[in-house]
A = this chain, B = another copy of it.
Amino acid sequence: MKVGIIGASGYSGELLVKLLLAHPHVTLAAVTSRSQVGKALSQVIPALRGFDKGLKFVDSDAAALSKSDIDLFFLALPHGAAAEFAKVLVAAGKRVIDLSADFRIADLATYERYYGKHHAPELLTQARFVLPELTPTGWKNDVKLVAAPGCYPTSILVPLVPLLSAGVVSREHIVANSYSGVSGAGKKVDEMYLYVERAESIKAYGLVKHRHLAEIEEQIALRTGTPAIIQFNPHLAPMRRGIATTITVPAAADGTIESLYAAWHSAYAGRSFVQAIPSGETPDTAHVVGTNRVDMSAVFDPRTKNFVITSVVDNVVKGASGQAVQIMNLWFGFSETAGLV
């Protein structure tokens, strides 16, 4: 099976290239970039020296690509641009996994409230947000176009959705504080992201209406049947990769730490990429960086009657490219963990 990556100059694109080059069941047949056409992959991604299989960047020409023999395309493009490519590729019968926000939001009005005008609203009905451990499995046959989840939403939805579904926690007073490595901002060349500015520094940003709220709250409503409003506070932390999320949520009247873990174990039985670790131990971003996992744990605070839940992911792997590969594995019937750890 042949796959292609459209737009591979950012951090997610680079990692997709690495994962797909090493994947046991697919052939990376095309990698595109408007600015790097003709260059060897390893010229642009030096970490691939000796291991780029001779591939060169080709132009991001949607029409040409739609006529190729490539079965599946990954879009690692800014939102807006992704929709334009998806339109052409889906029309040509290609399957598409989009890493941008363009098809993460089912409700057009919500999308436009957070992101502005949508460039392919007609595709929304054919698209599906797939967080593999949460999305009901039927999606595999239904769709042509899959939206891979955002990094913050993955770190919040994975621990929270089963608890809301099981009624273990309150739907009110949910507070999620997330701390992201700087790669979360992409390869944006801005004074704010200079080494000297970010090393040894933590700051909040994007308060109080970060774009990822749109998919967090829509997914909670869709997956649990009832809306919830989340206080989501994102921050930048002095590390390259990783997200650490700490969620405080009141226990439901009959919610206990045992029922919380029972809800997790029930939701994630047999899922290697979600690990509920014992209450009292806390997950560490360093343990998941480079992996496609979510590690999470919870503790009950008898003074406040809250659960404090901590979860960690690698924003570029489970938060982006690794999850996209996991989606491909499931979609095409490969082992869920093929090419991933």
Q: Which residues of A contact B (CB under 8 A)?
A: 11, 18, 22, 46-47, 49-51, 173, 175, 177, 179, 181-183, 187, 189-191, 193-205, 207-209, 229-231, 233, 235, 237-242, 244, 246, 248, 250, 272-273, 275, 277, 282-291, 293, 295, 299-301, 303-304, 306, 308, 310, 312, 341
Contact = CB atoms under 8 A, between A and B. Distances in A.
Contact of A196 (B183, B306, B308): B183
Contacts of A284: 46, 201-203
B201 A200 contact: no
Contact of A291 (B47, B191, B205): B47
B202 A194 contact: no
Given A175-B248, A208-B299, A303-B229, A275 B341 contact: no
Contacts of A202: 179, 237, 239, 242, 244, 284-285, 312
Most buried by B among A22, A237, A250, A291: A237
Contact of A194 (B195, B239, B312): B195
A231 B299 CA distance: 12
A193 B284 CA distance: 13
A49 B205 CA distance: 20
B191 A189 contact: yes
Contacts of A238: 195, 199, 237-239
Contact of A207 (B183, B285, B295, B299): B299
Question: Which 8 residue pairs spanning A and B have beta carbons closest together?
Answer: A201-B286, A202-B244, A208-B301, A203-B284, A195-B198, A50-B272, A46-B287, A200-B239
Contact of A50 (B173, B195, B208, B275): B275
A203 B282 contact: yes
Contacts of A244: 202-204, 235
A286 B246 CA distance: 22
Contacts of A183: 196
A278 to B, nearest CB: 10
Most buried by B among A175, A179, A239, A300: A175
Nearest to A191: B189
A199 B193 CA distance: 12
Contacts of A283: 203
A190 B191 contact: no
Contacts of A204: 244, 246, 282, 308, 310
